[in-house]
Amino acid sequence: MIPIRDENPTARRAVVTIVLIVVNIAIYFGIQFPKHDANAEALFEYRWAGVPCEVRTGKPVVLVPDGTILAASACAIPAGGVAAPERAFPDKNVWLAVLFSMFLHGSILHVLGNMLFLWIFGNNVEDQLGRVGFLALYLVGGVVASLVHIRGNFDSTAPFLGASGAVAVVMGAYIVWFPRARILTLVPIVLIFFPVRLPAMIVLGLWFVLQFFTQSSSGIATLAHIGGFVFGMLVAFVLAQTAGFPRRVVPPRLDY
């Protein structure tokens, strides 16, 4: 299913959501894309993106000669032609890289897909929390989602990147606050997509369940999605119990 838009009007312009979308798209098309070859792309990711093994050790990865026997605790990647072990980017801040990863993407579809979900669900969550609160939720939640991915892939030397974890946080908050909001969704039936209005609890609930059937080996950081979604739900639930969120609810009448 592909959500297109929701029928959940806001009272204020979603300034932070718009800025985040512009920044993510600008970084991808202005800095990341295009790279002249796969090696340049890999070097860019190792320079700026988070790497689970780096966070575990607190140090950038080490390049070692091909065929080197590595200790189980080593945070290293093989590199042909390297005469001796050396750090790929010795001045890299591995902690800031976790934050930077939230603004990097692996492909055009990756960034555009994330930004579509952010626009559909982010404007209403921002409308509830206000600009500062929404930005805090997005950034803190994105880091939490990344840490969940790191915890499940402690020894991985593969960079992780994308706003998916932070967007999942927003989606988790949305399903708690607006479970009955109507989402115009493209539903595939025999290879043809049909537009259908579905409640958010179905659209987002199915998305969440599908994460458990998506293997991390496919290149998708499913643990970040799951961790971010759960974190967003928990924050939204706590605010609902303590501060009366959402302060403006969707009318209960639904037409399908």
Number of independent structural domains in the chain: 1
Q: Which residues pair with 7 in a beta bridge?
A: 182
Residues 6+ apart with CB under 8 A from 250: 8, 178, 180, 181
Q: Which range scores top for mean pLDDT: 32-46, 58-72, 110-124, 212-226?
A: 110-124
35 within domain boundaries: yes
For the segment 227-244, the average pLDDT, to the nearest whole number, is: 95
Residues 6+ apart with CB under 8 A from 3: 116, 117, 120, 183, 184, 185, 186, 203
Instruction: Answer for the pair 199, 254: CB distance below 8 angstroms, yes or no.
Output: yes
Q: What spatial distance separates the first Cα and last Cα of the chain, rounded to whole Å?
A: 17
State pLDDT tens for residues 177-216.
999 999 999 998 877 889 999 999 999 999 999 998 876 5
89 within domain boundaries: no
Tell me what pLDDT residue 70 has: 53
Instruction: Answer for the pair 121, 6: CB distance below 8 angstroms, yes or no.
Output: yes
235 within domain boundaries: yes
For the segment 223-242, the average pLDDT, to the nearest whole number, is: 96
86 within domain boundaries: no
66 within domain boundaries: no
Other Cβ atoms less than 10 A from the Cβ of 87: the count is 14
127 within domain boundaries: yes
Residues 6+ apart with CB under 8 A from 240: 176, 177, 246
Band (pLDDT 50/70/90 cuts) for residue 61 is confident
CA atoms lying within 13 Å on the CB side of residue 228: 32
For the segment 51-70, the average pLDDT, to the nearest whole number, is: 78
Which domain CATH number covers 118?
Answer: 1.20.1540.10
State pLDDT tens for residues 5-34.
999 999 889 999 999 999 999 999 999 887
For the segment 213-230, the average pLDDT, to the nearest whole number, is: 82
162 within domain boundaries: yes
| DSSP 8-state secondary structure symbol assigned to residue 216 | G
Sheet of 182-189: strands edge to edge?
2-7, 182-189, 192-199
Q: Mean of the per-residue pLDDT values for the chain? A: 87
Q: Which domain range does residue 222 map to?
A: 2-49+95-242
Percent helix / strand / coil, the chain, rounded to 5: 55, 10, 35
209 within domain boundaries: yes
